């Protein structure tokens, strides 16, 4: 399939009232399940970061792992993960955060990012920006240098980008 033939947005399924009434969930799994579409999404994102000398990609629990690990492989860089409280086995730093329908705590291993290391943050969806803002705080606490932040999908009405001011934010698909 040629890039001109692929409409990535057509592969995002909308689920009304999930995970709670009033939330319109954007499901990326149909895009991930289609080899051509997933490959194209990863290639489009990777080409933007080929020359940025990134050393690690930081992935957010859980669907962010899918996108970030494919990007890390494509860019030949390491992968650091951010998980919900209690899921990582080693010493961690943590940050409380809120999003549009819940509050939680994120953690990252204390040795996941080296001071001064250039990192790309990656997640599946930018909604309110709370999860990514908490991730930024964790990376900064460890001394990482954030080059860019990337999302597969951005929900513009929720204005999450406003919480990420001062960073280069990119998304493949916008609603």
List, by residue number, the catalytic residues: 63, 100
Q: Work out the widest C-alpha separation in the chain, in whole angstroms.
A: 47
Contact between residue 125 and residue 154 where contact means Cβ atoms under 8 Å apart: yes
- CA 155 to chain CA mean position, Å: 13
**Residue 146 DSSP symbol:** E
Alpha-carbon gap, residue 62 to 59, rounded angstroms: 8
Q: Which helix (H) or strand (E) holds 16?
A: strand 13-16
């Amino acid at each position: 399939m040629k890039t001109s033939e692929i409409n990535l947005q057509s592969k995002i399924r909308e689920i009304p009232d999930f995970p709670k009434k009033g939330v319109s969930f954007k499901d990326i799994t149909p895009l991930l399940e289609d080899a051509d579409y997933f490959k194209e999404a990863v290639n489009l994102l990777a080409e933007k970061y080929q020359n940025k000398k990134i050393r690690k990609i930081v992935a957010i629990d859980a669907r962010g792992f899918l996108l970030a690990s494919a990007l890390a492989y494509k860019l030949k860089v390491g992968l650091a993960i951010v998980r919900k409280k209690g899921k990582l086995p080693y010493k961690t730093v943590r940050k409380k955060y809120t999003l549009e329908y819940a509050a939680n705590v994120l953690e990252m291993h204390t040795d996941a990012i080296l001071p001064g290391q250039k990192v790309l943050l990656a997640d599946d969806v930018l909604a309110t920006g709370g999860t990514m803002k908490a991730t930024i705080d964790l990376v900064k606490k460890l001394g990482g240098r954030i080059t860019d932040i990337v999302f597969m999908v951005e929900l513009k009405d929720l204005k999450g980008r406003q919480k990420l001011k001062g960073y280069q934010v990119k998304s493949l698909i916008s609603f």
